[in-house]
């Protein structure tokens, strides 16, 4: 077998030994040895391979697989711009701490700087965005000892290093990694691929078993002091704070004592003296204002090396809370009443608005939230949908919610949802559970190429709900949506597109239906077909963004 094919087989074998069970591949010439090795591993049932022609969509497909499964997922590309197209997914993975593995094929070093086709500097392409970057030299014809001192050992050791960095085994800081592999011709195997020519460990395990490190940094918190918990994206459940009122973003664990975000500031009697932050809160301006207040003590609980402290007010940072004391009954009941009042206020305003006019994305989000059952997975697009979901009552117990909140872009959301749905179906054991995605029309269009998959590819069971207001509705809620900027708004912010989503779906062979709110509710409560008969479908709901600014102004709970 030629050296490049041997190298590729060894690398893929070690990835499997390290726990990789899903891989995404983009076709190319330079990565042909890796393509053959991944295809053979798929045929052997060692992993499941997903082939995509667009590297940007492929990166986000791998991101969704990795995020939903909490395991490393490699995305393999050829050299040149193919690698650069993964950068948006790498950025999201970095800020969301998702174990994405970039497995890029490179030209041999003697071609760098010569003007050779498709040759760029790939070794440091992602800079400090990746947790670790490793470049392997091309295999040689004279490999030397095949085990502890030879190429086999170095290759396998490198795979173990990048997987350990991806999972945060040594520092708790999971995230993307880059394994860049120089490959020389010939790039096609000499014959059928047989067993891996150079063996790994005899027990079938990884070459280097990396024991996970544990950092224990307790933070002392007196819960008898008026305390509020703020849980953002990536938050972990903190049982010691279960008795504390919690403002949780949709992609955080569902709290025991939830506080509706619009309840903040509704009454002066519920001003917290301290806040415990877990995860990365980004959605609600009243929350960010609270975290920046001089009279509020902020304590941050984080599982990695970095922590969220936008205003620079954190007084302590640790990995867990040591709680003493308990919240007063007056405090917890006061927040329960305020949260209930906020929920009722939102419901009343939405009902009144709908009676007088058209549905909005917030109405759609409420229908989606009400339809979700225990065991379901919801993937949210950035921009308005994730905020609408928070107002609509998410998170809720038993429902897992994922969103690309690391850098909060609309990139790759369709692909992320598809990857999450594939992983959810493969690893979830709640009978009848399904995956639903909620995203705006611009988000859907931005990654409509994610719908493109060949007939031999694994199929996702996914319902994508698209509230279509023909443009960028969120900008109408920001400063640029003020009446004095109306002259430029529609052209440079509203960006109406007029695209026929049904025709677009038909071009990809994807089921599509335009529905109203009542029909949407009926479609979502319909029993899912399950993984034995997966289906991908798009449910489009016509919505309006006209006067959306007025509706949101009415959602503010009157101060008491």
| Confidence at residue 531, expressed as pLDDT on a 0 to 100 scale | 46
The string of DSSP letters for 429-484 reads: -STT--EEEE--HHHHHHTGGGG---TTSPPP-EEEEEEE-SS-GGGGGSGGGSGG
Residue 292 — very low, low, confident or very high, per pLDDT cuts 50/70/90?
very high
Of the listed ranges 135-139, 140-144, 190-194, 496-500, the least confidently predicted one is 140-144
| Confidence at residue 432, expressed as pLDDT on a 0 to 100 scale | 78
| Confidence at residue 142, expressed as pLDDT on a 0 to 100 scale | 62
The mean pLDDT of 492-509, rounded to a whole number, is 94
CA dist., res. 36 & res. 32, Å (int)? 6
CA dist., res. 350 & res. 524, Å (int)? 20
pLDDT tens digit string along 146-181? Answer: 555 689 999 999 999 999 999 999 999 999 999 999
**105: three-class secondary structure by DSSP:** strand
Sign of CA dihedral 422, 427, 432, 433: negative
41: enclosing H helix or E strand: helix 32-43
Of the listed ranges 4-8, 207-211, 552-556, the least confidently predicted one is 552-556
> Is 68 or 495 the better-scoring residue by pLDDT?
68
318: enclosing H helix or E strand: strand 314-318
Q: Which of 336, 399, 410 is nearest to 368 (CA)?
A: 399
pLDDT tens digit string along 110-122? Answer: 888 888 888 899 9
340: enclosing H helix or E strand: helix 329-356
Residue 557 — very low, low, confident or very high, per pLDDT cuts 50/70/90?
confident
Query: Which positions ≥6 away from 67 have C-beta within 8 Å?
Result: 96, 98, 402, 416, 419, 420, 423
| Confidence at residue 317, expressed as pLDDT on a 0 to 100 scale | 96
Q: Which residue has the tokens 């490959």?
A: 183
109 contacts 432 by C-beta, under 8 angstroms: no
Residue 480 — very low, low, confident or very high, per pLDDT cuts 50/70/90?
confident
290, burial (CB in 10 Å: exposed 0-12, middle 13-18, buried 19+): buried
The mean pLDDT of 10-31, rounded to a whole number, is 98
Asked whether the predicted pLDDT for residue 74 surpasses 80, the reply is yes
Asked whether the predicted pLDDT for residue 388 surpasses 80, the reply is yes
The string of DSSP letters for 112-158 reads: TTTT-TT----TTTTGGGSSEEEEEPPP-S----SSTTSHHHHHHHH
Q: Tell me the CA distances in angstroms from 320 to 83, 125, 445, one per residue in order.
A: 38, 35, 41
Retrieve residue 146's tokens: 């095949």
| Confidence at residue 162, expressed as pLDDT on a 0 to 100 scale | 98
| Confidence at residue 529, expressed as pLDDT on a 0 to 100 scale | 46
Percent of the chain scoring above 90 in pLDDT: 80
| Confidence at residue 52, expressed as pLDDT on a 0 to 100 scale | 98
Domains of the chain: 3-182 (3.40.50.970), 219-335 (3.40.50.1220), 357-555 (3.40.50.970)
Between CA 246 and CA 251, with CA 249 as vertex, the angle to 5 degrees is 125
pLDDT tens digit string along 302-357? Answer: 987 889 999 999 999 999 999 999 999 999 999 999 999 999 999 999 999 999 88
| Confidence at residue 526, expressed as pLDDT on a 0 to 100 scale | 74
The mean pLDDT of 81-86, rounded to a whole number, is 97
| Confidence at residue 486, expressed as pLDDT on a 0 to 100 scale | 80
CA dist., res. 74 & res. 22, Å (int)? 7
Retrieve residue 383's tokens: 């921009």
Query: Which positions ≥6 away from 492 have C-beta within 8 Å?
Result: none
Q: Which of 15, 125, 120 is nearest to 74 (CA)?
A: 15
């Amino acid at each position: 077998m030629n050296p490049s094919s041997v190298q590729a087989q060894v690398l893929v074998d070690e990835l499997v030994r390290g726990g990789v069970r899903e891989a995404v591949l983009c076709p190319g010439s330079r990565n042909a040895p890796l393509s053959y090795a991944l295809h053979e591993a798929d045929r052997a049932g060692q992993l499941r391979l997903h082939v995509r022609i667009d590297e940007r969509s492929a990166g986000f497909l791998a991101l969704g697989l990795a995020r939903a499964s909490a395991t490393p997922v490699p995305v393999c590309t050829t050299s040149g711009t193919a690698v650069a197209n993964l950068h948006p997914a790498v950025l999201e993975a970095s800020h969301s701490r998702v174990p994405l593995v970039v497995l890029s094929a490179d030209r041999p070093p003697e071609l760098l700087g010569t003007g050779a086709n498709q040759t760029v500097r790939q070794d440091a392409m992602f800079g400090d965005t990746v947790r670790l970057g490793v470049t392997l030299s091309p295999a040689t014809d004279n490999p030397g000892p095949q085990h502890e001192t030879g190429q086999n050992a170095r290759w396998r050791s490198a795979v173990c290093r990048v997987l350990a960095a991806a999972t945060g085994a040594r520092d708790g800081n999971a995230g993307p990694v880059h394994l860049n592999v120089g490959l020389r011709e010939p790039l096609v195997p000499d014959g059928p691929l047989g067993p891996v020519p150079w063996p790994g460990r005899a027990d079938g395990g990884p070459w280097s078993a990396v024991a996970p490190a544990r950092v224990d940094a307790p933070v002392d918190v007196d819960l008898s002091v008026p305390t509020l918990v703020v849980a953002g994206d990536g938050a972990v459940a903190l049982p010691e704070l279960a008795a504390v009122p919690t403002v949780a973003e949709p992609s955080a664990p569902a709290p025991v004592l939830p506080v509706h975000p619009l309840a903040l500031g509704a009454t002066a009697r519920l001003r917290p003296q301290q806040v415990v932050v877990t995860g990365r809160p980004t959605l609600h301006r009243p929350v960010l204002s609270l975290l920046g207040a001089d009279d509020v003590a902020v304590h941050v609980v984080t599982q990695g090396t970095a922590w969220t402290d936008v205003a620079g007010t954190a007084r302590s940072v640790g990995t867990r809370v040591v709680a003493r004391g308990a919240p007063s009954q007056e405090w917890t009941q006061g927040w329960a009443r305020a949260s209930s009042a906020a929920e009722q206020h939102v419901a009343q305003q939405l009902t009144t608005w709908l009676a007088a006019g058209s549905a909005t994305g917030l109405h759609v989000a409420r229908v989606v939230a009400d339809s979700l059952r225990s065991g379901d997975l919801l993937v949210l697009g950035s921009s308005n949908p994730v905020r609408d979901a928070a107002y609509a009552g998410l998170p809720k117990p038993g429902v897992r919610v994922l969103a690309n909140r690391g850098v909060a872009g609309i990139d790759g959301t369709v692909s992320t949802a598809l990857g999450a749905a594939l992983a959810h179906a493969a690893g979830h054991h709640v009978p009848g559970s399904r995956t639903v995605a909620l995203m705006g029309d611009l988000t859907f269009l931005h990654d409509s190429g994610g719908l493109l998959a060949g007939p031999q590819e694994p199929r996702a069971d996914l319902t994508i709900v698209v509230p279509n207001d023909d443009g960028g509705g969120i900008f109408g809620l920001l400063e640029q949506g003020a009446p004095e900027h109306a002259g430029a708004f529609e052209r440079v912010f509203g960006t109406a597109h007029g695209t026929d989503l049904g025709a677009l779906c038909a071009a990809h062979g994807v089921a599509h239906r335009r529905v109203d709110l009542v029909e949407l509710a009926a479609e979502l409560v319909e029993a899912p077909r399950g993984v034995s008969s997966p289906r991908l479908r798009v449910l489009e709901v016509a919505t309006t963004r006209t006067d959306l600014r007025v509706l949101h102004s009415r959602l503010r709970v009157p101060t008491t």
